[in-house]
Structure 1
C-alpha cells in the first residue's frame, strides 16, 4: 500500500490541507493513521481515477439524496447534531432566499423519516455519522410531514388557497400507507380520503397538519416530525397582492393545529425569510425557538463558510479566484460566522468564474421599489449612503413584518438586513432582545442590485450619466441646467422641504461615478464636515467637494447662496483630506436649491 502526506492528498482531491487534516481526525477517510505528528493516507482512498470528471455543481438542486449522490455537496449534516444536542420542540430558521434552506430541510427529512428504503447510505460518509450512536440512532425512526411553500406565488387569495390545498393533499397522498393501515378506524380513513382527494374545505385544510400528524402517530406508534419550508412566501405574496389578512388568518390556524400543544408532534422545523411574529401567526407558541441571522446557533449551516469556498475552488482548479469571489459574494455575517452567498458562488464557478449578479434573478426585488416609494428624505439619503459604500447605524427588529415597510420607515433597514440586502458590521444588543447594528452593503453583487433597482426605480439612470459627465467636466452651467430639468420632471413641489432631501438626491445622482470614485458624505475634514466628497480611486483624475445650501425664501438670490457654499468649502478647509491623500487637482462645487430651482458655482 502506498501512502500520501496531507499535502499530496489535498492536491489529489482538490481541497485544502486543513480540510484533509480535519477529515483524518474525524475518520472520514478510511485507513489513515498517524506517524509522529503527520497523517499518512492510503493512496487508493483519495486519488481520482485518471480521466475521472469532476462532479457537477448542484445548481437549483434541493433534493438531498440527489445532491449527495450526483453532485458536489458541501456537508452540512452537523446541523442535525447541533439540533439533537438541544432538541427544541419547534425551530424556526430565518435566512435570505437561496441560502440553502430547502436543501437543509430535505436533509432533515432524509435523516429522520422512517421509510422502506435504507436511507442511512446517504449519511454514512458524512460528518454526522462520525458523531456516534447518540445521533445515528435517530436515523430513519420518525414519520415526517414535509411541505414547502417556496413556489406559492399566486396573485389572488383564491389561487393561493387552491395551491396550498393541493400541496396539503399531495402530502396526504405521499403517506398512502394510511389507506391500508390496520390500526386506523374507518372514520379516520374517511378523514384521510377527504384531504387526499381535495374534497376538503378551508377549515379541513387549516386542520391538515393536526389531522395528518394524528393519523401517522397512531399508525407508527411514534410522534411525528413536521417540516414547513419557506412558510412566509405566500405571506409576502399576500402583502404584495392585497390578500394579506386572508393568508395570515389561514396560516395562524394551520400552524396552531400542527405545532401548538400537539401531542402527536415530536419536533417541528420551519424556514422563512422573516420571523412574522407580530401577526400572532405563532400566537401562544412558547415552544418556538427562533434562529435569526443575528443568532450564533446554526450560523455556519446556511450559506458557505470561507473554508468551504476555498475547498470548492481547489476542487475545480480555481484557487486563484478566491479574492474575486470574496469581493462579489462574501460579506454576510450570520451570528459570528462569515458567510458567502451559496447560490452565487455555485453559479460563478459554473459560469467559468465570470462575476455577475446571479442572486438578483432568483426572486422578486419589488420590495426595494416599495421602500423607495415610501421613503422619507432621511431614509432616501441613507439608502444612497449605503450605495456609496458607507455604514449606517440603525435599530434592528428581527420580527419586522411586511406592512411595517409602508407604515414604519425605520423598519426598512431591518427588512433589508433579514432579506439579504445588507450585512451586519457590528452589533450592539439591546435589553428588549433586539439590536442596534452598523449595517452596510455586503459585496459587489448586492451593490449592483441596489444601483440597478434604486436608479431605475427613481428614473435617474440616464439622467445620472449626464449629470455625472457634467460633474466630471466641471461644467457648472450644464450641471445647473441638468439639475433643474431633472427636478422639474421628477420631484414634487413638496419634496424640497430641507437640505437633507437635496443631499440624498445628489448622492444618488453621483452613484454612477462609484467605479472611479470613493463617495463619502457628511465626514469630518479640515475645520468642519463637508456634504459630499468624491475621492479618486485612480491617479490622474480630479477630486470633488460639494457643499449644498437650501432656502424657501423667494427673496434670496440663489447665485449668491451658491457662492456662500463655495466660500464655506474654502474657509473650512474641506479639501484637507483630499490633499493629504495626494489629490492635487480638486474641483469645488457649491449648489443652492429652492424648490425645483438650483444655482451652481464652481471654484
Structure 2
C-alpha cells in the first residue's frame, strides 16, 4: 500500500511515527560519524532535505531521545549494532538561522539572540543542578532577563560547558541554514557589521570550545573563509562539487523511480526525469530535488514546485542588474547551451556586484546550474567548469523571471514585440517609450561609473529580455560575428518558408529575420536622436550583418533592420523593411 505523502513536514519523529512517505537517508549518520571531522559545513540548494537530515541527527544522537530506537527500526543505520549503542547518548544543541531575515543589523542580532534564549529556556533544568555554581546560575538568569545587555557571541560556548558537565559528555552542535543572515545582510546593506558579529560567534562556538564533540553546519552557500571562518582551521567544507555525502541530500534516480512505482506512477518516469532530474553533487549525477518530487507525488501534476518555493530575489537582482555579458550568457543557457568559466566556490557576497564568476558560483551553489564537466588545472593552473541549466523546471523558472522583469500594467512589452515583428515603427516607438518611462530609473541608463553598465549594454540586455517569449518562433542571438562586424541582436525565424508559427503575432505571412543595432547619442558626433539612429542603420548596411541570416536560408527581401537610438530614458527607433511576397 502506498504511503501518504506529507508536504512540508521537517520533523523526523513525526514522519516516522505516522509512517508517511520517507526515503531512508540514515546512511548520512554513519558516513558523518566515521569521517571524524570536528566541524563540517555542508552546502546544498534550498529544499534539499537539509533541515530534515539535521532533525534526524538530533533524534539519533540527542539524549532527549534516549531509548527511542523505534524511530530508526527498519532503516539503514539500525542494521549496525555499533550505532544502536550510541543512539541517544549525547547532549545536542540544535538551532536554525532559517528565519533570521532582519532588514537591519540590530534586528538580525536580536533574532539570533532570541534563538539562543530559546535554548537557554529549554535547558532551565540546569539551574537546579549542582554541576554549575551559584555565580554561573546568576549569569544564566541575567542573560534570560536582559539578553540584549550581554555579548551573545560566547553564549553557545557557555551553554556547551554547562551541558557537558551535567551529562559528563561533550556536546554535538547542529546549526541549520547558517548563511541565511549573510544573504539578508548583503541585500539590506549591513554586511560588514554582521560578518564581524558572526565571526566572533562562530569562533567561540566551533573553534575555542573545549566542550564540543562534533558539529555540523548546513546552508546554501560556502561563505568565504576570510569573511566568517578565518579562525576555523578545524572546518571540513563540503560543496556541490564534493564527493562526500553526495547521495545524502536529494533523491537518486533509483529512489525516485521506486517512489513512482509505489504511487502507481510508473508511466511518468521519463517525463519526471526531464522536469526534475539534473542536479549533480561531486561525481553523483541524476540527483532530483526532493521538494518537486514530493509535490509531484502528491498532486500528480507537472509544475515548477521547487523554483516557485522561493522568491529567488537575490538571483533575479544579480542577473537583472548584471552586465550585458551576463545577460548574453543567460541567453545562451536558456537556449540549452553550456558555458565554461573559472569558479571560486567561496562566495564573497560583497564581491557579487563586480564579478560574473561570483554570480555563476552562486547559481551553481543554489542549484540553478549544474556541472557538466571539469577541466582540472588547465594551462593557467585554474579549474575550468562547464555549466548548464540544471533541468527543464529551472529553465521555466528563468523564462518566467525574465518575463516578469518587463511586464508593465498595460502589457506594453508584448505589444512592442508584436509591433517589432510586424514592422510597425509608430507602434514600436510608442510602446518602447511607455516601457522606459514606467520601469527604468535614470540610474539604469545614466552610464555612471558606479553603475558598471554602459547605457547601450543596459538597453541591449533589456531588449533581449523582451524577446524571451519568442523562443518558439525565433533563434535569438547577440554579439555574434556576421559579415564584417558584430551585430547587437539577431532574430532568425525558425520557420523560414512557412507562415505557421506560435504566439499572438497575426498569421498569414512569413516571419521576418530581424537585425537590431543599439546606439547611445554621442554629443560630440550627433546633435539629435535622428542622426544617431541613422548611424545605427548605416552600420548594419556597411558591415553586411545580413550575411549570417542569408547564409541560413532567410530571404534577403524579408530581413528587417532596426536602429535603436537612446538619450537617457528617451528612445527613437527607425528601420527599413522589405516583405517577402
Partner of 1:399: 346
Q: Is the 8 A contact 2:59 2:65 kept in 1?
A: no
Look up the SS of the partner of 1:397 in the other structure.
coil
Determine which of 553, 568, 574 is the counterpart of 2:549.
Answer: 574
Q: Is the 8 A contact 1:274 1:418 kept in 2?
A: yes
d(CA) in 2 for partners of 1:585 and 1:80? 66
Q: Is the 8 A contact 2:446 2:455 kept in 1?
A: no
d(CA) in 1 for partners of 2:517 and 2:492? 18
Give the direction of change, closer, same or farther, for the CA distance of 1:212–1:437 in structure 2 (3 Å limit): same
Is residue 594 of structure 1 aligned with residue 565 of structure 2?
yes
- How far residue 76 of structure 1 moved from its aligned partner, in angstroms, is 1.0
d(CA) in 2 for partners of 1:65 and 1:380? 45
Q: Is the 8 A contact 2:260 2:269 kept in 1?
A: yes
d(CA) in 2 for partners of 1:400 and 1:349? 34
Q: Is the 8 A contact 2:68 2:88 kept in 1?
A: yes
- How far residue 101 of structure 1 moved from its aligned partner, in angstroms, is 0.8
Instruction: Give the paired residue count.
Output: 544
Deviations, residues 314-370 of structure 1 (Å, cap 9, x unaligned): 21112222333333332222222232221122122222x222232344334321343
Determine which of 141, 164, 171 is the counterpart of 1:224.
Answer: 171
Is residue 83 of structure 1 aligned with residue 83 of structure 2?
no
d(CA) in 1 for partners of 2:104 and 2:280? 36
Partner of 2:468: 511
Is residue 554 of structure 1 aligned with residue 554 of structure 2?
no
Deviations, residues 532-584 of structure 1 (Å, cap 9, x unaligned): 3445389833566443445555396745853763686686353444x5xxx99
d(CA) in 1 for partners of 2:163 and 2:485? 70
Instruction: Note the 1:257-406 alignment, pairs <5 A.
Output: 257-337=204-284, 338-351=286-299, 353-372=300-319, 374-406=321-353
Instruction: Note the 1:238-249 alignment, pairs <5 A.
Output: 238-249=185-196
Structure 1 gap ranges (5+): 1-47, 49-53
Q: Is the 8 A contact 1:149 1:231 kept in 2?
A: yes
- How far residue 400 of structure 1 moved from its aligned partner, in angstroms, is 1.3
- Out of 274-283 and 551-560, give the one that drifted further: 551-560
Q: CA RMSD in A?
A: 3.5
Q: Is the 8 A contact 2:50 2:176 kept in 1?
A: yes
Look up the SS of the partner of 1:598 in the other structure.
strand
Look up the SS of the partner of 1:153 in the other structure.
coil
d(CA) in 2 for partners of 1:524 and 1:202? 64
Partner of 2:48: 99
Q: TM-score, normalised by structure 1?
A: 0.80
- How far residue 165 of structure 1 moved from its aligned partner, in angstroms, is 1.9
Look up the SS of the partner of 1:81 in the other structure.
helix
Partner of 2:445: 492
Give the direction of change, closer, same or farther, for the CA distance of 1:334–1:220 in structure 2 (3 Å limit): same
Q: TM-score, normalised by structure 2?
A: 0.82
Look up the SS of the partner of 2:224 in the other structure.
coil
Deviations, residues 52-79 of structure 1 (Å, cap 9, x unaligned): xx32223111111112332200111111
Partner of 1:165: 113
Partner of 2:367: 420
Deviations, residues 199-257 of structure 1 (Å, cap 9, x unaligned): 33464421111111111211222111111101111222222333333332222121111
Give the direction of change, closer, same or farther, for the CA distance of 1:213–1:283 in structure 2 (3 Å limit): same
Look up the SS of the partner of 1:226 in the other structure.
strand
Deviations, residues 359-400 of structure 1 (Å, cap 9, x unaligned): 344334321343246422322333344344443333322111
Q: Is the 8 A contact 1:347 1:358 kept in 2?
A: yes
Give the direction of change, closer, same or farther, for the CA distance of 1:120–1:176 in structure 2 (3 Å limit): farther
Partner of 2:490: 532
Look up the SS of the partner of 2:241 in the other structure.
coil
Partner of 2:506: none
d(CA) in 2 for partners of 1:230 and 1:424? 23
d(CA) in 2 for partners of 1:152 and 1:586? 60
Determine which of 426, 448, 464 is the counterpart of 2:413.
Answer: 464
d(CA) in 2 for partners of 1:566 and 1:507? 22
Partner of 2:390: 442
- How far residue 473 of structure 1 moved from its aligned partner, in angstroms, is 4.0
Q: Is the 8 A contact 1:382 1:504 kept in 2?
A: no
d(CA) in 1 for partners of 2:260 and 2:250? 15
Determine which of 454, 460, 467 is the counterpart of 2:402.
Answer: 454
Look up the SS of the partner of 2:445 in the other structure.
coil
Determine which of 131, 134, 151 is the counterpart of 1:186.
Answer: 134
Structure 2 gap ranges (5+): 502-509
Deviations, residues 250-288 of structure 1 (Å, cap 9, x unaligned): 221211111003221111100112222245312221110
d(CA) in 1 for partners of 2:192 and 2:75? 44
d(CA) in 2 for partners of 1:261 and 1:567? 69
